[in-house]
Structure 1
Amino acid sequence: MLSIYHRRVLASLLALCSLPALARDLVVVSYGGPNKDAQVTAYYQPFQQETSLRVIPSTWNGEAAKIKAMVDSRNVSWDVVEVDATLQGRGCDEGLFERLDSKLFGNKADFLPETMQPCAMGMFISSTLLAYNADKLKTAPRHWQDFWDTKRFPGKRAMRRGAQYTLEIALMADGVSPDKVYQTLSSAAGVERAFKKLDQIKPFIQWWEAGAQPAQYLLAGDVVMSTAYNGRISNARKEGRNLRAVWLNNIYEMDYWAIPKGSSNKAAALRFISLASRSSQQKRFAEQIAYGPTNNKALTQLSPAALADLPSAPQNQRTALALDYRFWIDHGESLEQRFNSWVGRK
């Protein structure tokens, strides 16, 4: 006889597999680029084959105001949206996303911690790390301190234009261990320390705002090194470019699937997220772009060579800093304002 828990799980799965309510095509919104291309192969096409529903892909830059406007006007045209860790937490608090029943997506024990959230399901782990062009920089940088060493490594270096990642990197360059970064940044003295460190290289910084830019800057020789998303650097190498990544003290975070509050296509959206949470599909995604699966079973299905290039590989996790999205929910607005003011000062 089935337990109450197993009866509930079975009922949830039956509801998920019931497709009469899937009345229209599914609009899936991602951050674009190679990430979206990998999603097409691993998720969009298999979903279309299983359900006969067409996936209509779209892209965005993470502007929460777009979702808020749709939800507030009750005119929601997006069904599944890729969001970062901070937005999924803030959006859930603000009622922008549907609450999710995690049982629809599998056994929690099979996934990395933080994967299953009240309003979101983790899709992959990416890292922000130090990158350089080995064809143009013969001495390889080894850590964030080298990023600040303009004597040994003269020239411009590129950083993401924003407080997030930048302040953490500044503190690690100043000798703060990853496990103490957010404790330090939570104090006024820690914030001052981060900006004082950034002052040292401000004249040498070329800011980037789009994920494709670091690789472009490095290949063009505009900068000697850059912060970058690991997947972009890995893809450039696949194309024969001699770009290298430094994994020491990388900052990793999880991207999530979320359903905008009020979507009329919720049943299909849930079915899509369920498919995208399977180990087989996440393995396929990781083979297309070097972002780590959230399903632990997918990690065991990948080759050692593929695994070594992922943020979730043990050797890449060893000295890594996990982005604390809760910290950025609490402090992000004030720190971004402070950062923008700092950038604008000569």
Structure 2
Amino acid sequence: MFSVKKKGAAFAAVALSVIPLATACGGGGDSNASAEDTTLVVASWGAYFTEATRQFLADPFTKETGIKVQIVDAPGKYAANLQAQKQANNVQWDLLDSTSAPDAYQMAHDGLIQQLPANLKTEFQSVLGQDAVTDFGFTFSNLGYIIACNKDKVTTCPDTQQAFFDPANPARRQMIATLPLLNLSLAEMASGVPAEEIPTHEIDMDRAFAKLKELKPLVKVWWESGDQMEQAFRNGEVDMGIAYSGRAFGLADNGTPLQVQWKGGVYNPGFWNVATGAPHSKAAFQFMEWIANHPEAQAKWAEKTKYSVPSPKAFDYMDDTFKKQLADWPDNRKQLTTLNYDWYVKNAQDVNRRWQEFLRG
């Protein structure tokens, strides 16, 4: 999704492109620095995403604690930059704002992001819920990869991947080009794997690619950004497709006759993380704790970005119509499966190679 961010872009792809590193303020740790002397450096996604984090999270946190927050933009480059900083023995970032799930699991595996302290993990689970917390962070900027249909072109919008992949339906489709794990998982569901098994399912790549190859003639757009996805619907290039939930509702709210199907979709989380070797780890975890315990700030952030947030209490601060368009709204969340990121980490090189061959073929 490259609206502001391309969530889930392959780890191997970002490793090829490194942006200049930011210069962090502060020293090599928390122990001898007062709050006023500490400046956390947060990597974020740029544009309105960075602005929302600054306005609703960073600035209020600084006002309460005195700990300053500097935000640097590194869209799609978290893994590459952290790896470069580590190799230079000069880690300059403290926090990562909404790391895409495949990258987060890969970076945790590679030791680039820290494990949560046990007491904080317990606290986060209590405040945000068990499903929102991993060993290395908590979810943030969450969305659904859903099926969206132009109601003027599609009589019955598919509510399963088996129906979406059915080549007997001549509707022109679009799918995302940058997330092989997502597409392979959708293909497995289309092949009969129950959605509830996908989070632990080991993908049969031969079967999944065969299913994708069968559908490929009907996929008219392989989109690489949220803007491109929206444009394809607005211009009438496609009749239905896999879309970001927030973007699809935005199109519908602005006159494009789209229907959104949560059923058959996939939940896609981002994660707040602390970098391994962060200059200010203690203050970084303090910032994460502040975010987790301020649902009203999460709600404002969500309304600005149109992404979902983990705190159940955040819904109390949202407009009734808006909150029901978010992936974490209970009625939506229960219809979405999740992906097997552990399997992806183990097979990423082969998956990414075969995916590029598929797109070129």
- Is TM more than 0.5 here? yes
Residue number in structure 2 paired with 1:217:
232
Query: How do 1:169-248 residues align onto structure 2 when only pairs under 5 Å count?
Result: 169-181=186-198, 185-186=202-203, 190-205=204-219, 206-239=221-254, 241-248=256-263
140 and 23 in structure 1: CA distance in 2 versus 1, 3 angstrom threshold: farther
Worse overlay, 318-327 or 142-151: 142-151
Query: What secondary structure does 1:179 align onto?
Result: helix
Residue number in structure 1 paired with 2:3:
none
Q: Which deviations, in whole Å up to 9, do the C-alpha atoms of 1:37-57 show, x marking residues without a partner?
A: 443443133234333625334
Contact 2:38–2:67 (CA under 8 A) maintained in structure 1? no
Correspondent of 2:357 among 323, 333, 341:
341
Paired positions, count: 326
1:20, distance to aligned residue in structure 2 (A): 0.7
Q: Which deviations, in whole Å up to 9, do the C-alpha atoms of 1:165-188 show, x marking residues without a partner?
A: 1011112233332023356544xx
Contact 2:57–2:291 (CA under 8 A) maintained in structure 1? yes
- Cα distance in 1 for residues equivalent to 2:210 and 2:83: 36
Residue number in structure 2 paired with 1:10:
none
1:215, distance to aligned residue in structure 2 (A): 1.3
Query: What secondary structure does 2:226 align onto?
Result: coil
Confirm or deny that 1:259 pairs with 2:274.
yes
* Paired letter, 1:210: S
* Paired letter, 2:211: K
Q: Which deviations, in whole Å up to 9, do the C-alpha atoms of 1:34-87 show, x marking residues without a partner?
A: 544443443133234333625334132145222111112122232211312333
TM-score by length of 1: 0.81
Residue number in structure 1 paired with 2:61:
47
Unaligned runs of 5+ in 2: 1-29
* Paired letter, 2:339: L
- Cα distance in 1 for residues equivalent to 2:290 and 2:153: 43
Contact 2:174–2:223 (CA under 8 A) maintained in structure 1? no
250 and 271 in structure 1: CA distance in 2 versus 1, 3 angstrom threshold: same
Unaligned runs of 5+ in 1: 1-15
Query: How do 1:239-318 residues align onto structure 2 when only pairs under 5 Å count?
Result: 239=254, 241-277=256-292, 278-318=294-334
Residue number in structure 1 paired with 2:137:
120
1:237, distance to aligned residue in structure 2 (A): 4.2
Query: What secondary structure does 1:321 align onto?
Result: coil
* Paired letter, 2:304: Q
193 and 250 in structure 1: CA distance in 2 versus 1, 3 angstrom threshold: same
1:309, distance to aligned residue in structure 2 (A): 1.0
Residue number in structure 2 paired with 1:72:
87
1:253, distance to aligned residue in structure 2 (A): 2.8
* Paired letter, 1:179: E
Query: What secondary structure does 1:127 align onto?
Result: strand
Residue number in structure 1 paired with 2:5:
none
- Cα distance in 2 for residues equivalent to 1:19 and 1:123: 29
- Cα distance in 2 for residues equivalent to 1:114 and 1:283: 19
Worse overlay, 206-215 or 43-52: 43-52
TM-score by length of 2: 0.78
Q: Which deviations, in whole Å up to 9, do the C-alpha atoms of 1:206-231 show, x marking residues without a partner?
A: 21222332112212222222222222
271 and 112 in structure 1: CA distance in 2 versus 1, 3 angstrom threshold: same
- Cα distance in 1 for residues equivalent to 2:169 and 2:197: 28
53 and 168 in structure 1: CA distance in 2 versus 1, 3 angstrom threshold: same
Query: What secondary structure does 2:326 align onto?
Result: coil
Query: What secondary structure does 2:260 align onto?
Result: strand
- Cα distance in 1 for residues equivalent to 2:356 and 2:117: 39
Contact 1:182–1:327 (CA under 8 A) maintained in structure 2? no
Query: How do 1:88-99 residues align onto structure 2 when only pairs under 5 Å count?
Result: 88-99=104-115
- Cα distance in 2 for residues equivalent to 1:207 and 1:73: 37
Q: Which deviations, in whole Å up to 9, do the C-alpha atoms of 1:74-106 show, x marking residues without a partner?
A: 222322113123332332232212333253473
- Cα distance in 2 for residues equivalent to 1:19 and 1:137: 62
- Cα distance in 2 for residues equivalent to 1:226 and 1:37: 30
* Paired letter, 2:171: P
- Cα distance in 2 for residues equivalent to 1:27 and 1:320: 34
Query: What secondary structure does 1:333 align onto?
Result: helix
Correspondent of 2:165 among 142, 145, 148:
148
